Amino acid sequence: MSESYEYLFKFLVIGSAGTGKSSLLNNFIGNKFKEDRCHTIGVEFGSKIVNIGGKSTKLQIWDTAGQERFRSVTRSYYRGAAGALLVYDITSRDSFNALANWLRDARTLASPNIVILLVGNKKDMEEAREVTFTEASQFAQENELMFLETSAKTGENVEEAFLKCSKTILAKIETGELDPERIGSGIQYGTGTSKRLAAPKKPARTPSDCACHV
Amino acid sequence: MIKFWKSAAKGKTGCPVRPPELKSTSTPDIKSLINTQLLLEENEDPKHMFDKNSKLTLSLCDILNEKKAIKYFVQYMESIGKEVLIKCWLEIEDFKIQTQYQDSSNENGNYSKINRTKSLDLHCKCVSKKDYKDVNTQRFSWQDNSELFTSTSNTRHKNECSMSSCRNLSEHLTSNSSNTSKENVKTGNYTEEAIKIFKKYVALEAPFQLDLPDSNRKSVISNICQPEGKITEDCFQPVQDILFSQIEKNYFNDFVNSPFYIKAQIDILTSGSLNLKDILHNETILFYFTEFLEQESCRVLLEFLMGVMHFRDNLLNNSSSQDPAQAQADAIAIYEKYFSLQATHPIGFPTDIRLTIESDICREEGPLPTCFDMPYRIVFKTLALYVKTFLESELYFKYLSEMIHSVENIWSTSHHKSHSDCSSEFSISTQNTLLAMGDPVFRKKKRNLSVPDMTIDSNQLYNADALWQRNRSDGLSLGRVNSLGRFESKFEPDPDKKGKSVLKKMVSRFVPTSTSKVEEEMAWQIAHMIVKDVTDLTMAPPDNEHEDM
């Protein structure tokens, strides 16, 4: 059971109750979609090794309970997460309105460098949509989040969501913005790394990111 | 659903001890462990399993009241120049201990000498919270009893009891029949001590100002200036309250993120072994432990513990607003995940436990918060066994080494910070060349650049494009071109951004410490001009949009 991986990231899945957090996780780790799942009590874990830019990276995903009554307990798990999926339900205006609260919690409790991706779930239920793509992406932009609409039922964009978030974390590691060896970063070196011997990597740059030097 | 419960309850009469029907193929070890554990858990106190505290997570209370890791906190406060706060706190604590100790020593003297050793322990000032409370209660009980004493013949110490000094304890204990005359002297010491603290921290013209509100100062004055000349040990309580809230609000969070805190944790880690509770309630180590459990294929046990913990806390804490139906739904969610015959994550509890839980959940008034306590205890003990292996595992050593690394790393970055601060004494004497600037502290921040980057890649000479692909040398960039193609200067930093701009920090590195702010400003302006010239030439804008550079 000890597959080798280079990095291990701690991931959170947060958001209001009934937005499909557990379904997203289950879809991602390869379980079948269930129409009437029980709500989550406490935390459920999932993990998966993905390949990001040639690096095998293991995600340790903490799927938290969305119910308000468990909020105080789930908040205690935010610390030291490297990434988070902040989930709302595109068919529920309330779940969208609650985002600001969730985001505030995540930003204050998790590490300041946490990479958050906004997920509008239940994309398959277009006819019941209450939150438009535009307003959600505007919210994402204002709060410096990445954004995707997904469907845990059809599997659309589910993997992309996790991958996109992981890629950003990895990029931050490579630019030195995140130090995996710093405790509380939510990142561990895995079994497959010989960390201190790793050759300096050239950060991948987009042309727009070029810097001028004195 | 009801039907299901009924049918489940029917099986109660002839329940077998083992659950042969459980599909525990994925977790065979767990099952056997659980069965053996069952025998052991009779005379255990389950309370501690639900405690929420981890040795590794220090609260401000732990530090200030119980003096855990206080030396690191003092060091931290010294490093940010706020040691006054903590020193004042400690002096007041000392004062308090002296007084309390005093009272209890008198009590001991009056009644018997049985508790003498205890009082002497207090002398070492390593008062744990428990002792501290004991002293308090002793004092109160003594006060009650003193009335009685007045009426009996034993009135020797009635008035002096609260006033003797702790330094004279041993004398006091041995010669407690003849020390009435000494008491007056001691009273003097005692008041003096209070006045000393007052003058040092609280008074308006005090050398160490604490930013106390006036009302606070006044209440301390009235506490000290009691007409009977008695000073109670909590006369500085208002000051302590303020200190506590100031520290909590302004400094504690930064302390938690500082290397001092990690050092305190490393001390804890190396001084004794951790138990399951310490791990469960500290997120950082829990991250490693979870991974460890996954490798051992028993992560489900952890999930179970957390689920029950949430369920229980929720019911106990919000008992008034609790809807029984909701509580039942929660309980069923847990049941269906771990206990039911069709459980999605079966743990392998024996049938009798399952049946007990079924009937506990199906009460008319909703399930009890404690309905999963029994299996919780079993799983807790099982996981506690895994802790031992965890503490010897590679993952644990990785955790330890990352803790140590973090201390070193944060330290090197924070040193770097102080270098770039214009108040640093090092800025000119040790780092006055451009070359030095690119060196150690700076580079450390970037893990990947461990080799000094002084070599010139010949590729770059022939490939003009490579110029833009170069790694950014920290802090030397003047700005960047954003996605819209607009140049964002680092000179005019984002007003939302806290702190100085990168460039300003850089400039201040070249300014000697002794120079005044004005000179620094000058130097900065000149640098600004030079840089502006350069950017004007190199970044010639296509239109006038960039005038504000």
Chain A residues with CB inside 8 Å of B284's CB? 79-80, 183-184
User: Is A137 a member of any domain?
Assistant: yes
The DSSP letter of residue B250 is: I
Which of A44, A181, A212 has the most B C-beta neighbours within 10 Å, making it the best mutation to test the interface with B?
A212
Residues near B342 by Cβ (< 8 Å), separated by ≥ 6? B336
Nearest Cα neighbor of B96 from B106, B107, B88 is B88
User: Is A31 a member of any domain?
Assistant: yes
Residues B283/A76, Cβ–Cβ less than 8 Å: yes
Domains of chain B, each with CATH number or no CATH: 2-52+274-395 (1.10.167.10), 65-256 (no CATH), 449-546 (no CATH)
Between A and B, how many CB-CB pairs are < 8 A? 142
Q: Do B481 and A189 touch (CB under 8 A)?
A: no
Q: How do the pLDDT tens digits run along chain B, 549 residues long? A: 444 444 444 333 333 333 333 333 344 445 555 554 554 555 556 667 788 888 888 888 888 887 788 889 999 998 888 888 888 888 888 888 877 766 665 555 444 444 433 333 333 333 344 444 444 434 434 444 434 333 333 333 333 333 333 333 334 333 444 444 445 555 566 777 788 888 888 877 777 777 777 888 888 888 777 766 677 777 888 888 888 888 888 888 889 888 899 999 998 888 877 889 999 998 889 999 999 999 998 899 999 999 999 898 888 887 777 788 888 889 999 999 999 888 888 888 888 889 988 988 888 888 888 889 889 998 999 899 999 999 999 999 989 988 888 888 766 665 554 444 444 333 333 333 444 444 444 444 444 444 444 445 555 555 555 555 555 544 556 667 777 777 776 666 555 555 555 556 665 665 555 556 666 777 788 888 888 888 777 776 555 544 444
Angle, in degrees to the nearest 10, between helices B259-271 and B394-420: 150
Distance from CA of A15 to the nearest CA of B (A): 17
Which residue segment(s) compose the domain that A153 sits in? 7-209
Q: Do A43 and B306 touch (CB under 8 A)?
A: yes
Q: How long is chain B? A: 549
- How does pLDDT run across A141-158, given as a tens digit for each residue? 999 999 999 999 999 999
CA distance B475 to B490: 10
Distance from CA of B332 to the nearest CA of A (A): 9
CA nearest to B338 within chain A: A41
CATH of the domain at A24: 3.40.50.300
Distance from CA of B227 to the nearest CA of A (A): 49
Chain A residues with CB inside 8 Å of B477's CB? 211-213
Burial of B181 (0-12, 13-18, 19+ CB in 10 A): exposed
Q: Do A184 and B483 touch (CB under 8 A)?
A: no
Chain B residues with CB inside 8 Å of A79's CB? 283-284
Q: Do B538 and A201 touch (CB under 8 A)?
A: no
CA distance B441 to B413: 7
Distance from CA of A69 to the nearest CA of B (A): 7
Distance from CA of A51 to the nearest CA of B (A): 19
Q: B74 or A209: which carries more pLDDT confidence? A: B74
Residues near A171 by Cβ (< 8 Å), separated by ≥ 6? A203, A204
What the block records as the tokens of B50 is 């639900």
Nearest to A188 among B288, B451, B481 (CB): B288
Beta-ladder partners of A84: A12, A116
Q: Do B398 and A2 touch (CB under 8 A)?
A: no
Nearest Cα neighbor of B269 from B407, B376, B131, B378 is B407
Nearest to B307 among A8, A42, A186 (CB): A42
Q: Do B470 and A212 touch (CB under 8 A)?
A: no
User: Is A166 a member of any domain?
Assistant: yes
Nearest to A213 among B403, B469, B476 (CB): B476
Chain A residues with CB inside 8 Å of B1's CB? none
| pLDDT score, position B541 | 59
Chain A residues with CB inside 8 Å of B482's CB? 208
Q: Do A203 and B471 touch (CB under 8 A)?
A: yes
Q: Do B468 and A76 touch (CB under 8 A)?
A: no
| pLDDT score, position B6 | 43
User: Is A56 a member of any domain?
Assistant: yes
Q: How confident is the model at residue A99 (pLDDT cuts 50, 70, 90)?
A: very high
Q: Do B314 and A179 touch (CB under 8 A)?
A: no
| Residue A58 predicted with pLDDT over 90 | yes
Nearest to A200 among B281, B329, B448 (CB): B448
Nearest Cα neighbor of B386 from B281, B270, B292, B284 is B292
Q: Do A39 and B333 touch (CB under 8 A)?
A: yes
Distance from CA of B58 to the nearest CA of A (A): 14
- In chain B, residues 194-233 whose CB comes closer than 8 Å to chain A: none
Chain B residues with CB inside 8 Å of A44's CB? 303
The DSSP letter of residue B113 is: S
| pLDDT score, position B485 | 74
Tell me if residue A8 falls in helix, strand or coil. Answer: strand
Residues near A89 by Cβ (< 8 Å), separated by ≥ 6? A16, A18, A19, A20, A95, A96, A120, A121, A122
| pLDDT score, position B142 | 40
The pLDDT mean for chain A works out to 85
Phi-psi region of A190 (alpha: psi -120 to 50; beta: other; left: phi over 0): beta
Chain A residues with CB inside 8 Å of B336's CB? 38
Nearest Cα neighbor of B36 from B310, B350, B445 is B350
Residues near A71 by Cβ (< 8 Å), separated by ≥ 6? none
Residues near B429 by Cβ (< 8 Å), separated by ≥ 6? none
Q: Count how many domains chain A has.
A: 1
- In chain B, residues 400-419 whose CB comes closer than 8 Å to chain A: 402-403, 405-406, 409-410
The two beta strands, B487-489 and A83-89, are unpaired
The amino acid present at B50, given as its one-letter code, is F
**Phi, psi for residue A77 in degrees, rounded to 5:** -95, -5
Chain B residues with CB inside 8 Å of A60's CB? 287, 290-291, 294
Chain A residues with CB inside 8 Å of B294's CB? 1, 45, 47, 60
| pLDDT score, position A123 | 94
- In chain B, residues 117-176 whose CB comes closer than 8 Å to chain A: none
Tell me if residue A210 falls in helix, strand or coil. Answer: coil
Q: Could you list the beta-strand ranges (E) of B446-547.
A: 477-481, 487-489
Distance from CA of B177 to the nearest CA of A (A): 57
CA nearest to B534 within chain A: A214
CA distance B42 to A110: 40
- B529 to chain A, any CB pair closer than 8 A? The answer is no
Q: How many CB atoms lie within 10 A of CB B88?
A: 21
CA distance B549 to B546: 6
Q: Do B402 and A182 touch (CB under 8 A)?
A: yes
**Phi, psi for residue A143 in degrees, rounded to 5:** -105, 15
Residues A27/A155, Cβ–Cβ less than 8 Å: yes
- In chain B, residues 456-475 whose CB comes closer than 8 Å to chain A: 468-473
Residues A178/A169, Cβ–Cβ less than 8 Å: yes
Q: Do B402 and A181 touch (CB under 8 A)?
A: yes
CA nearest to A69 within chain B: B314
Chain A residues with CB inside 8 Å of B314's CB? 69-70, 73
| pLDDT score, position B166 | 37
User: Is A1 a member of any domain?
Assistant: no
Beta-ladder partners of B479: B489
CA distance A168 to A52: 10
